[in-house]
Structure 1
Amino acid sequence: MHVLLVASAFNSLTQRVHAELRDHGHGVAVELALPSVDLAGAVRRHRPDLVVAPMLTSAVPEEVWSAHTCLIVHPGPVGDRGPSSLDRAVQDGVPRWGVTVLQANAEMDAGDVWATVECPVPDPPESKSAWYRGEVADAALEAVLLAVDRFASGTYTPEPQSGGRARPLLRQEDRRIDWLRDDTERVLRVLRAADSRPGVRDELLGGTWFLHGGHPEDGLRGRPGELIATRAGAVCRATADGAVWIPELRAPRAPGQPAAPKLPATLALGDLLPALPELPAPTQARPGARTWSEIDYREEGGAGFLSFSFPGGAMSTADCRRLLDAYRAACTRPTSVLVLGGGRDFFSNGIHLGVIEAAADPAEESWANINAMDDLVEAVLTTTDRLVVAALGGNAAAGGAVLALAADEVWCRSGVILNPHYRLMGLYGSEFWTYTLPRRVGPAVAERLTTEALPLSAESARRLGLVDRTIGCPPAVFADRATALAAQLAGHPATAARIAGKKARRELDEAERPLAAYRAAELDRMRQTFFDPQAPYHALRRAFVRKERPGATPPHLARPVPGRHGSPPPARSAPVTGPAVHDGAPDPAGC
């Protein structure tokens, strides 16, 4: 079938639906529901067999739903209605949830039900966005594929909804934190229900800020509401019975201005921040104690596990340097396998566009950030005394996807989406992609992946050779599965021979063309872009971090893309122009 995706943004769920519908043989195109676009006219031009809305924050026009079957993906169980479903579920601490695919009609979220799938709520609770990209997205894909199959059969009759109630938008007054009285668990629920957007509006150091993200801290105490420490850009704030780490802050939108970018909390506060102790993460966690660290290392069964989790998957210059230091330390350990990643959310989205945008000189910060990423990737590529595995429990894009390719093996959870390209941000790219990508998929496929700039499912990436293993499991158990597989690999009799062969191949590749030559050629292109004030990268970066919506659907999305087993009808609309959409998740900040 020819399926048209209508969405408010090409976010992580829309990308996953796009990729997996193609995997199932359907042709897919996208139209963004933008204020300046005649959506009804755009749908008429496409003449789709079916319209699916994976993430839509506005109502479908009657001209559309009366002429086409329009399936809405609602991130809530049957009977749940309203715009803040996931926020309320996290803040209220519900034990089970679900996703419903329903038919658009005149009443929001009240149409006939085509499919519904339950999903668990992580225990301990996760942030809203991590849950959305994980269990909720898994349930949504299962429901979408079931609904599409039912529609294609031509024999299924959807079931009318009965009961339920529409609940209003969860507003900032509903998210208010009383730091003098609220315990840590209540503070965490509120922060995690708003972590990606909209954040929790609060007063801090005499100003108004939006707080993003929250992690528990059991070992520190202070006067409730006061800041008591910093760590790797985050601030620790005391609650009524403990403390929480808050990684990011965002300034309120100025009148007539676009949204301010989210930034590491200490960078956002700047000179307002009082003198506070900078507390490094403990090298060894105390049993039963809770604290927060972006980077962690452990060993099991002859394998080392270097896990990292940066907000939005974005890695600033400082993040890259901290991770490189941790990587070098891990390489001094007597292990035969080193696993990078393994967490349930983002692997990496590359350089931190938000920090770059906030810098006094964005060109210089871009240059510093890409060199720090290159240093990290080069360290992985030149590790010849052990096998390195990139374990992707969550999505990866741009330089973050290429970081994974530097490893000897790439393992992905089956729900992961990869975007191994840079061009939507106006960049040529670095991180040695001109060496690693063609080496895995060949020059022709590498060219296609980097120019088409479309998302890939984990399974499609495996078929292409980009990924070595897909692991079909819920997000909560991916780390355990990766740990068991890595321990098996470390104990396998053939691993020592593989390590020796790896060293020999690296020496041959180096003799043919040194890594330094790949790096120099890539960085020459990147430097020209960074230091050219007229380069599109600067406007695209600014629009991305400030959440400016494009004026029209980008042509590469509006153009119908064939399914893996067939082709859609030819494109029926003229190419449209407008800024590219670079959105690897609901609210990423990297490239």
Structure 2
Amino acid sequence: MNAVTWEQRERIIALLADASADPEVRAVVVTATGKGFCAGADLRARAGAPPPGERIAGDVARTIRRGAQRLIAAVLDCEKPVVAAVNGTAAGIGAHLALACDLVLAADTAKFIEVFARRGLVPDGGGAYLLPRLIGPHRAKELMFFGDAVPAADAERLGLVNRVVPAADLPETARAWAERLAQGPTRALTLTKQLVNASLESDRTTAFAAEAAAQEINMTTRDANEGVASFLERRAPQYEGR
């Protein structure tokens, strides 16, 4: 069920950083093999951790900052559009990994579960940051307090996912979305992603200033010039991601 191990987490973080730096990478898809998308953190890996009585204050917070939060931040901060293709159960940090992506596709067999309360835990990996911004505080609390499984159709209705497709169509749909993104003006999409993410915490003055600065930066790119030229010449633009 693809529970997240230390090695997997570090590999995903490194791949996302590489994607940001590589101009040849124009879009990213996060998906999984097997019947599950991600069942959450690998609890077996925590079996060797010190028992509560032997922990030093700050150990748990440090582990979360360096682990689950770094993973979610890597998705949010990736300088390319990131599409989640959720093929099965996305639970705990697995749900947050999917919801941190810019666009979320889900197979009709997928489901999302905030399992933390079931285990007597506080949601980590950015859950209390992501969910209220997606569906509002009351819905977020309902999912987190009860920990009920949310089927894909309900997730779409709530606004957790962009689209639900038949499981057999998920890979093809994810590829089609990624190809559309990869043919777009990559730097403009990156700046748009940053503006939208920041707007959730900004006042109007700050958001407007960021928007103007982003457009100033964007107009120095070849793609912006190509977009304007193609409009004036009445032809389809040919973006290079530069």
- Normalised to the residue count of structure 2, the TM-score between the two structures is 0.71
Q: Give how far 1:509 is off.
A: 4.0
Q: Give how far 1:481 is off.
A: 3.2
Among 183, 195, 213, the residue aligned to 1:504:
195
Residue aligned with 1:411, SS: strand
Residue aligned with 1:313, SS: coil
1:343–1:478 contact (8 Å) kept in structure 2: no
Among 160, 173, 184, the residue aligned to 1:481:
173
Deviations 1:377-428 (A, max 9, x none): 1111122x32111111121101110111111111111111110341001111
Tell me the matched-pair count: 196
Residue aligned with 2:105, SS: strand
Question: 2:10 aligned with 1:315, yes or no?
Answer: no
Task: Report the equivalent of 2:42.
Answer: 352
Distance 1:465 1:507 in 2: 19
Among 148, 159, 163, the residue aligned to 1:454:
148
2:19–2:80 contact (8 Å) kept in structure 1: no
Task: Report the equivalent of 1:326.
Answer: 15
Letter in structure 2 aligned against 1:453: G
**Structure 1 residues 345 and 426, CA, compared in 2 at 3 Å: closer, same or farther?**
same
The structure number with the bigger radius of gyration is 1
Distance 1:348 1:499 in 2: 26
Distance 1:498 1:328 in 2: 17
1:338–1:387 contact (8 Å) kept in structure 2: yes
Task: Let me know the Cα RMSD of the aligned residues.
Answer: 2.5
Deviations 1:450-484 (A, max 9, x none): 1121111111100000111112132xx53233212
Among 111, 114, 125, the residue aligned to 1:417:
111
1:417–1:457 contact (8 Å) kept in structure 2: yes
Distance 1:342 1:506 in 2: 25
Written as runs of structure 1 = structure 2, the 5 A alignment for 1:381-400 is 381-383=76-78, 385-400=79-94
Distance 2:49 2:189 in 1: 47
Distance 2:88 2:133 in 1: 23
Distance 2:103 2:34 in 1: 18
Task: Report the equivalent of 1:468.
Answer: 162
What is the percentage of aligned positions where both structures have the same residue?
A: 30
Letter in structure 1 aligned against 2:120: G
Residue aligned with 2:104, SS: strand
Written as runs of structure 1 = structure 2, the 5 A alignment for 1:175-214 is none
Distance 1:479 1:344 in 2: 13
Task: Report the equivalent of 2:67.
Answer: 372
Distance 2:63 2:90 in 1: 17
Question: 2:31 aligned with 1:337, yes or no?
Answer: no
**Structure 1 residues 410 and 362, CA, compared in 2 at 3 Å: closer, same or farther?**
farther
Residue aligned with 1:377, SS: helix
Structure 1: gaps (5+ residues): 1-311, 513-591
Letter in structure 1 aligned against 2:177: L
Q: Give how far 1:496 is off.
A: 5.9
Distance 1:319 1:424 in 2: 24
**Higher normalized contact order (CA 8 Å, seq sep 6+, divided by chain length):** 2
Among 107, 121, 145, the residue aligned to 1:427:
121
Letter in structure 2 aligned against 1:373: A
Residue aligned with 2:164, SS: strand
1:337–1:489 contact (8 Å) kept in structure 2: yes
1:339–1:389 contact (8 Å) kept in structure 2: yes
Distance 1:344 1:369 in 2: 28
Structure 2: gaps (5+ residues): 204-242
**Structure 1 residues 427 and 435, CA, compared in 2 at 3 Å: closer, same or farther?**
same
Distance 2:197 2:82 in 1: 14
Q: Give how far 1:487 is off.
A: 0.8
Pick the structure with more strand per residue. Answer: 1
Distance 1:499 1:330 in 2: 12
1:421–1:449 contact (8 Å) kept in structure 2: no
1:418–1:457 contact (8 Å) kept in structure 2: yes
**Structure 1 residues 500 and 324, CA, compared in 2 at 3 Å: closer, same or farther?**
closer
Letter in structure 2 aligned against 1:403: L
Pick the structure with more helix per residue. Answer: 2
Distance 2:80 2:50 in 1: 39
Residue aligned with 1:444, SS: helix
1:422–1:429 contact (8 Å) kept in structure 2: yes
Residue aligned with 2:112, SS: strand
Residue aligned with 1:390, SS: strand
Distance 1:457 1:496 in 2: 35
